[in-house]
Every structure is written in structure tokens, then in C-alpha cells.
């Protein structure tokens, strides 16, 4: 009987701790939309449609960009230094930076990210008016959106 009480007491304690953990856990934050497209102009390096994919964890956010240009040569993993500058609807800009990229074969779409940045609840960030700068082998490529992103700006919770 005593073992049954200890077991029941332990189960109740574990259940209470689990419930308390859920009650105090930060709520899941989301960015909407999670993905957007732009038409980008990368100067003499080309242009076309690019896809931006955003994630959020509290005030930390990341954006991955599959650009409108293709790799002219094979590129190794984490060999591109990138800064994506997005324009905030309330004024100002937010920069997402990093040296993350997958390995790419010649002719693959250039993909950079996840690039890291800091956001605040309610931030509404748009690629149009900002830029993506990528430095590869000491050469800087700047891409800009030729119009607003679709379906709309990234809004962070």
C-alpha cells in the first residue's frame, strides 16, 4: 500500500511539473507568410525570380534566399558571405547576415542562408527597397527587388 502511495504521489508531482512547464513555456511565434517571391535584378550577374523563406524563434529570425542567379562555378558549403537588408514598414531596415550556404554545382540556383537577424513583434519586413549582397571569392554581387514581394511583407509575431 505504501509503495502505491509513493508511486501515485510521484506521478502527480511529475504531472504537475509538466503542466507548469507548459504554462510557462514561451508561446510558439510565427512569421507570415513563411515564404515569398520577388523579381530580382542582380546587375551584370543576371536576375529573375527569387524565393525568400523566413522563420522566427522569439526575437531571433532567419531568412533563406534562393536567388535569381545561377552559380557560374561549383561553390563549396558556407563559402558565401551574405547580407540581406529588408525594409520595415514603420521605417528603417533590418539586416540578416551570415556565411551559410549549401554546396552548389555549376548552374545551380545560388542559395544563401539561413541568414540571422533580430526582429520585434509586429515588424513588417519587405525586400522591395532593400538588397541582398553576396560576396564570393572577393566579388560582391548586389541584387535588388524590382517590385514588392508576393504575397506580401513578412510580419513577425
Tell me the pLDDT tens digit for each residue of 90-106. Answer: 999 999 999 999 999 99
pLDDT in tens, 111-122: 999 999 999 999
Q: How confident is the model over 119-141, as pLDDT tens digits? A: 999 999 999 999 999 999 999 99
Confidence of residue 18 (pLDDT cuts 50, 70, 90): very low
Query: What are the tens digits of pLDDT across the range 35-93?
Result: 999 999 999 999 999 999 999 999 999 999 998 899 999 999 999 999 999 999 999 99
Mean of pLDDT values over 8-15: 35
The beta-strand segments (E) located in 10-105 are 31-32, 35-41, 47-57, 60-70, 81-88, 93-98
pLDDT reading at 2 higher than 70: no
Amino acid at each position: 500500500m505504501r509503495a502505491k502511495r509513493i508511486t501515485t504521489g510521484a506521478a502527480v508531482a511529475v504531472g504537475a511539473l509538466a503542466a507548469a512547464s507548459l504554462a510557462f513555456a514561451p508561446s510558439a511565434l510565427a512569421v507570415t507568410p513563411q515564404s515569398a517571391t520577388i523579381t530580382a535584378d542582380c546587375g551584370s550577374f543576371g536576375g529573375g525570380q527569387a524565393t525568400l523563406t523566413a522563420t522566427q524563434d522569439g526575437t531571433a529570425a532567419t531568412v533563406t534566399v534562393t536567388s535569381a542567379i545561377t552559380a557560374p562555378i561549383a561553390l563549396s558549403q558556407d563559402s558565401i558571405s551574405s547580407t540581406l537588408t529588408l525594409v520595415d514598414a514603420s521605417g528603417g531596415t533590418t539586416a540578416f547576415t551570415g556565411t551559410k550556404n549549401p554546396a552548389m554545382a555549376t548552374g545551380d540556383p545560388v542559395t544563401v542562408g539561413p541568414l540571422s537577424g533580430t526582429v520585434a513583434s509586429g515588424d513588417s519586413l519587405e525586400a522591395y527597397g532593400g538588397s541582398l549582397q553576396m560576396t564570393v571569392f572577393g566579388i560582391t554581387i548586389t541584387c535588388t527587388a524590382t517590385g514588392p514581394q508576393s504575397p506580401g511583407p513578412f510580419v513577425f509575431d
